Amino acid sequence: MVSHNTPDDGAVDGGEGDATGADGADESDPASTRRGLLRAAAGATVAGAAGTAGCLGVTTPADTAAQYELTGNVDHFVGPRWLADNREDVVVLDARDSENFRKERIYGARRVPFDAITSRASTDAGLVPDVAAIATAFGEVGVSPDDDVLVYGASVGSRVTRTAFALAALGHAGSVRVLNGGISGWNGRLGTGSRDRIEPTEYDPDPAESAWVTREWLADRVGTFNGDGPGLVDVRVPEAYLGAPAADALDPDNDRHGHLPGAIGVHWVGNVSGRRMTDPGRLVQLYEGEAELDRAGTVVVYGDDNVDPTSTWLTLRAIGFEDVRVYDGGFGEWANVEGDRGRYPVETATSVVIETEGSVGGGDGGGDFSCTG
């Protein structure tokens, strides 16, 4: 088994300490996008900080929660009001690290070790989600295949979406939703500390192999991406996508740099505005209008690892794309493949990049945000 390395202690926590009141929140400016050909020399990464709207003046817990409500036809993402109305009917999962989980969490929430749900297994076709390890991790915190689940974090960053993807990879029969705004938007009961352990259950997975693709699946379709074949989106920063020489964004562990031939570059942070989902209308414009992805066709997303692409995976599903898949092996596997690399080509020429402006608040990946700087 090959595991994605994350700074996480793997502890399983349950039980509650004292209940407390809700905290404040932030609201960043909405993301903006435009299509263009990005020159390698441009070298601009997505800003890691958001505006500070909502940090000045006085707001009530109800005001805070209202900031994160959703309107329109959006799947999978829900606001705090939905959780308040359905709290007794869903299993709540916390995607943050153990320290933040113990400090303050939604009352009754459970935490799944992040290293377990990013585990990968090696097959002849390449790396795939390790469904056995993932199922065990969810079972240890009492999640059953039929449970309706809500996942939250500090924001709607990639730790949250990876947790949602891990459930989808298991073929989870219950619904899976993500809390827009994360814990900052919750104005209900909170818990602290660690007291009791959750009663474990045996999670019997029904792997949904249509949720991911393998290295060999991609190799068979090289030359067709974003043409006659499936859509392919590289979610990394533009410098990594272009293999810009000496760029800090390049992974030093990769033998080759660039992107899969035909892939479109759309940095995943454009999906997130502070702690919330970017305006859905803007996301439709970004992915369907500007990137020209077919919502009725297959779309594959990949990054350096198997965490960040899940943000784009869930975002596309939320705005109505029907068949979205994750390349779980990631560019790291593709770039470092052994043997005949002619079957796994890497492109470095400037290609179509959709420029994005976004930020992730709260430490869920992509940068932190605080009202005090």
Q: Tens of pLDDT along 164-189? A: 999 999 999 999 999 999 999 899 99
Asked whether residue 121 carries a pLDDT value surpassing 70, the answer given is yes
Q: What is the pLDDT of residues 333-365, one digit of tens each?
A: 999 999 889 999 999 876 678 767 655 665 555
Average pLDDT rounded to a whole number, residues 117-142: 97
**pTM, 2 dp:** 0.81
Q: What percent of the chain has pLDDT over 70?
A: 77
**pLDDT tier, 60 (very low <50, low <70, confident <90, very high otherwise):** low
Give the C-alpha separation, 239 to 269, whole Å: 14
Write down the pLDDT at residue 55.
Answer: 38
> What would be the CATH architecture of the domain defined by 209-360?
3-Layer(aba) Sandwich (3.40)
- CB of 173 closer than 8 Å to CB of 230: no
- Count of Cβ atoms closer than 10 Å to residue 364 Cβ: 24
Q: What is the pLDDT of residue 351?
A: 66
Q: What is the pLDDT confidence band of residue 66, given thresholds at 50, 70 and 90?
A: confident
Question: Beta strands of the chain (E only): which ranges?
Answer: 33-37, 77-78, 91-94, 105-106, 110-111, 120-123, 126-129, 149-152, 176-179, 190-191, 212-213, 231-234, 264-266, 272-274, 276-277, 298-302, 323-327, 352-356, 359-360
The more confidently predicted of residues 339 and 22 is 339
**pLDDT-based confidence at 77, cuts 50/70/90?**
very high
- Spatial distance between the Cα atoms of 299 and 282, rounded to a whole number of angstroms: 19
